[in-house]
């Protein structure tokens, strides 16, 4: 198996570019049509001649397809984005602080709240380190930020008018130098004066 992987890495992959998994599979399928016609030294046959014997030795697939979703749960942070592979996808800011389930396959990223409500749906991006933002999520986030700033301003105004200011004694900086014996007349002089 490792030799087959090595052959694939040295004969198929160099110099190729892929736009996603489907493009990779299409290019690989075309390349295999040529590669499988070669005479394999160990088998002393073409790989296509050995397929039937290989199929006869394998077991049948289970009757239920395996799940195609990559799935994980996460508590949504204040930035209201989830990280999938190397990309960040926006989520409805109403879900901030709640646990959401992220379902991802080759084509789509879907984010569900605890009750099964869809709080984000994006096409999967294969470019690296992208930030994908739904305009509705950005607008909701801006409204929520303005509301928080308005509430904080109201609290500050209420705190400022809640009572008299407390006066704090202010000393000359030289007194601290003397206290920590940085200059003459340090701690011993302070004790005698006290």
| pLDDT tens readout for residues 61-115 | 778 776 678 899 999 999 999 999 999 999 999 999 999 999 999 899 999 998 8
Residues 45, 101 within the same domain: no
Residues 14, 81 within the same domain: no
**Looking at the domain assignment, is residue 87 inside a domain?**
yes
Residues 93, 26 within the same domain: no
**Looking at the domain assignment, is residue 49 inside a domain?**
yes
**Looking at the domain assignment, is residue 167 inside a domain?**
no
**Looking at the domain assignment, is residue 11 inside a domain?**
yes
Residues 121, 153 within the same domain: yes
Query: 31: burial class by Cβ within 10 Å (0-12, 13-18, 19+)?
Result: middle
Note whether 82 and 119 are within 8 A (CB): no
Number of structural domains (the chain) is 2
Residues 148, 76 within the same domain: yes
The pLDDT tens digits for 57-76 are 888 877 877 667 889 999 99
Residues 68, 148 within the same domain: yes
Q: Is the pLDDT of residue 193 over 80?
A: no
Please give the Cα distance from 134 to 148 (Å, whole number).
Answer: 21
Residue that terminates a domain, selected from 56, 72, 98: 56
**Looking at the domain assignment, is residue 177 inside a domain?**
no
**Looking at the domain assignment, is residue 21 inside a domain?**
yes
Residues 69, 111 within the same domain: yes
Residues 21, 80 within the same domain: no
Residue that terminates a domain, selected from 56, 80, 100: 56
Residue 106, domain extent: 64-162
On average, the pLDDT of the chain sits at 83
Whats the size of the chain, residue-wise?
Answer: 194
Please give the Cα distance from 185 to 155 (Å, whole number).
Answer: 46
Residues 121, 45 within the same domain: no
pTM assigned to the model: 0.52
User: What pLDDT shows up at residue 1?
Assistant: 43
Note whether 84 and 109 are within 8 A (CB): yes
pLDDT-above-90 percentage for the chain: 37
**Looking at the domain assignment, is residue 184 inside a domain?**
no
Residues 14, 90 within the same domain: no
Residues 77, 51 within the same domain: no
Residues 43, 69 within the same domain: no
Please give the Cα distance from 128 to 15 (Å, whole number).
Answer: 19
Sheet strand arrangement including 118-123? 70-75, 99-104, 108-112, 118-123
**Looking at the domain assignment, is residue 190 inside a domain?**
no
């Amino acid at each position: 198996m490792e030799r087959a992987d090595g052959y694939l890495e040295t004969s198929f992959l160099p110099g190729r570019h892929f736009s996603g998994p489907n493009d990779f599979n299409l290019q690989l399928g075309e390349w295999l049509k040529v590669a499988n016609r070669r005479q394999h030294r160990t088998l002393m046959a073409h790989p296509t001649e050995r397929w039937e014997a290989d199929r006869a030795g394998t077991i049948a697939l289970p009757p239920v397809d395996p799940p195609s979703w990559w799935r994980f749960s996460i508590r949504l942070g204040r930035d209201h984005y989830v990280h999938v592979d190397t990309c960040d996808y926006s989520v409805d800011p109403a879900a901030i602080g709640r646990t959401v389930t992220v379902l991802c396959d080759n084509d789509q990223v879907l984010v569900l709240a605890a009750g099964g409500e869809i709080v984000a749906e994006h096409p999967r991006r294969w470019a690296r380190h992208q930030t994908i933002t739904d305009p509705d999520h950005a607008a909701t986030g801006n409204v929520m930020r303005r509301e928080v700033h308005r509430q904080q301003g109201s609290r500050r105004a209420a705190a400022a008018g809640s009572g008299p200011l407390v006066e704090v004694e202010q000393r000359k900086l030289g007194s601290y130098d003397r206290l920590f014996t940085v200059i003459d007349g340090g701690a011993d002089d302070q004790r005698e004066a006290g």
